[in-house]
Amino acid sequence: KQDGTRITYARQVQGPGRLLHDIQVALPDGSGAVTVSTPDPATQDDTGPHWWLDDQVLFTRDTTGSGKQIWAAKTDGSGQRLVLDNAALNAVNPKTGDIVVTGGGAATLRTYDPATGGFGPPQALPYEIVSGLHEGLVFSPDGGKMAVTDYGRLYVAAADGSALREVYAGQCVNVTEFAWSPTGDRLALQINQDAHALTIVDLLGNVVRQDGVWLGEQGLTGPFFWQPNVAAPAPTPPPAAPAIPPAPAAFAPETPIVMPLDNYHAEGKCQAVIARSAADGSVWMRVDRGFNETATPWTRIGGPALDITYAPIGGSGALLVARNPADRSLWALRDGALPGQWRQWARIGDAAEDVHLMGRPQKSSNDVLVLARDPGTHAIRAFELSSSWPTQPTGPVYEFGGPAAEVDVAQNPAGGLAVVARSTGDGSVWGRQWTSSYPQPSLGPWIKLGGPARSTAMANAAEGPVVVAQNPADGSLWATTTFVENARWQQVGGPALDAAAAAGHDGDFSVIARNTADKSLWISPNNHSTNGQWAPQPWARLGDPASALPGVLALPTGGTRVASVGANGALKVGFCGDQWNCA
């Protein structure tokens, strides 16, 4: 009951040759139980009790051969009566007595008339509410709103079903259980089925409190209630949804970011795609929610920006770094309290170009190394962001090479990082090991890997960092996994417009390139190096013509999420299996 003084429930009892249920009312500890319904033991079953007006209980009675009816009874068991025929009860408005019922092949709202004691004609409800009834619809204690979940998506609406909106329309939030606050202005959520604590949010989805109530190792397995300690206020409507600007008509011709979202990535459930608008450089995000096979609308999260890059931070968090188009300064954005939410942008560095992010060399660290070139001198510089940033400031800036025409970085399986730079003079390719960063960086000498090259790209692989370079004479593609002086290079394909390396499963790597004739995407998949040698895998067409190389993310459950910008600026997102059969 809303005042917390009593509970009502369906009790299972043994009938003549069958099990059935009657309705009970008791104190919160289960004592003082009173039977308030008396179904026929041979033909009837009473279930789904709800508190109603004037200290009454509504419930559904199912009679063999006659169908379902909604009955009412007083808490002492008197006054049992039929209130609605050919219907089953789903939810009750505690203030008005209105009910949501199913019957006649539809789910509808029935308005209570206190003058007659009956209900008005059926009123249709939005599809999302009807679809979510199997998971549970609950009116707010003030009677002005309703909430429902449908396959993990949380919806809030006015009490008549109007003004419906999804609370987390642009995020990866899988709500498995929820309860209204006594004042009807907040919700307590269990997010993800194995969550161990409740999250308290307002009706716009902003987190008010996290980890407020410990749920145990298994989390909740059914509905829960928020014990009131204040009287419910007068009915109020839900707040208006924030305005969502329309998505860009075209995206910038560059590689989109494909990134995991929080702990959902452990199960491959949610990934975000981040790209810039071709018109104004604004930064946009879309979330693919694997837990219910839906994609969110595009949501603007910042900008304008010259470009943007991503790295994981703090174990399960996310960090974005972008360049301001006015002065090329570096700005960073940290993930918020829930997957898909973000904090405020903050400046972290001076003018830079060719920005890369990578985990700090210590394997146990969750900090991020920011690597870039000075736009004036082309010197290579780096600094660290702590896993607790922005609580802690950025680290000191180290200059450790250059001038360079291009720079890249990848993890080294032996420990630390591998940095590759291309000379501004002759295009030769150079490498340097970054083995430690605390209290100061520990760097090996620069070694010449090869060259000249038109461009380079890197990825992680089991045997070592993979470096892919493009021959400036004919555009052919070459690769090495031996990070040593005058490394052993193998031709892997070409000619190509450009190319990238992508880490795969089991330490494999793939080379992705654009065809010079029509800009279509091609891939040499699942290459595996042993002692610096491998047989390059045959090339296969990966996708339609694109304005840039695709963004890729290998999923822990197998396969790869791929996003690319087409020649017309349209952004496509797909999934490729382990053998790169894509859809």
| Ordered DSSP codes for 88-114 | EEEEE-TTT--EEEEETTEEEEE-EET
Phi, psi of 219, deg, nearest 5: 70, -170
Residues 6+ apart with CB under 8 A from 550: 255, 256, 512, 521, 542, 543, 562, 563, 564
Token pair, residue 315, equals: 């174990």
Instruction: Evaluate the omega torsion of the peptide bond into residue 390 and state whether it is cis, within 30 degrees of 0.
Output: yes
CB atoms within 10 A of CB 278: 17
The answer to whether 291 and 270 are in contact (CB under 8 A) is yes
Alpha-carbon dihedral sign for residues 130, 133, 135, 137:
positive
Rg (CA), the chain: 30
Please give the distance of CA 544 from its chain centroid, rounded to a whole number.
27
Please give the distance of CA 266 from its chain centroid, rounded to a whole number.
12
Amino acid symbol at 184: G
Report the first-to-last Cα separation within the chain, whole angstroms: 51
In the chain, the domains with their CATH numbers are 7-214 (2.120.10.30)
3-state secondary structure of 53: helix
Q: CA–CA separation, 525 vs 10, rounded Å?
A: 58
Strand partners, 150: 153
Alpha-carbon dihedral sign for residues 38, 43, 49, 55:
negative
Among residues 212, 310, 220, the alpha carbon closest in space to that of 259 is found at 310
Distances (CA, A) of 151 to 102, 156, 243, 296: 19, 14, 25, 14
Among residues 346, 531, 501, the alpha carbon closest in space to that of 411 is found at 501
The residue behind tokens 């795609």 is 273
Alpha-carbon dihedral sign for residues 351, 355, 359, 361:
negative
Question: What pLDDT does residue 533 have?
Answer: 85
Longest dimension (CA), the chain: 95
Where is 434: in which H helix or E strand?
strand 429-436
Where is 186: in which H helix or E strand?
strand 186-191
Q: CA–CA separation, 21 vs 270, rounded Å?
A: 41
| Ordered DSSP codes for 266-319 | GGT-EEEEEEEBTTT--EEEEEEETTTTEEPPPEEEE---S-EEEEEETTTEEE
Written in H, E and C, the secondary structure of 467-533 is: EEEECCCCCCEEEECCCCCCCCCEEEECCCCCEEEEECHHHCEEEEEECCCCCCEEEEEEECCECCE
Conformation bin of residue 402: beta by default, left when phi > 0, alpha when psi is -120 to 50:
left
Question: What pLDDT does residue 265 have?
Answer: 47
The answer to whether 453 and 427 are in contact (CB under 8 A) is yes
Among residues 429, 430, 415, 413, the alpha carbon closest in space to that of 465 is found at 413
Token pair, residue 463, equals: 């045997």
> Beta strands of 292-403 (E only): which ranges?
294-295, 299-302, 308-313, 317-323, 330-334, 346-349, 353-359, 368-373, 380-385, 398-401
CB atoms within 10 A of CB 405: 19
- What tens-digit pLDDT sequence spans the chain (583 residues)? 777 789 999 999 999 899 999 999 999 889 999 999 999 999 999 999 999 998 999 999 999 988 999 999 999 999 999 999 999 999 999 999 999 999 988 899 999 999 998 999 999 999 989 998 888 899 999 999 999 998 888 999 999 999 999 888 777 788 888 999 988 999 988 877 555 667 888 998 888 876 656 666 566 667 778 877 666 677 888 888 777 789 999 999 999 999 987 655 445 678 899 999 999 999 999 988 876 778 888 999 999 999 999 988 866 678 999 999 999 999 999 988 777 788 899 999 999 999 999 876 554 467 888 999 999 999 999 998 888 888 888 888 989 899 999 999 988 777 788 999 999 999 999 999 887 665 567 888 999 999 899 999 999 888 889 999 999 999 999 999 988 999 999 999 989 999 999 987 778 899 999 999 999 999 999 999 888 888 899 999 999 999 999 999 888 778 888 999 998 999 999 888 888 888 7
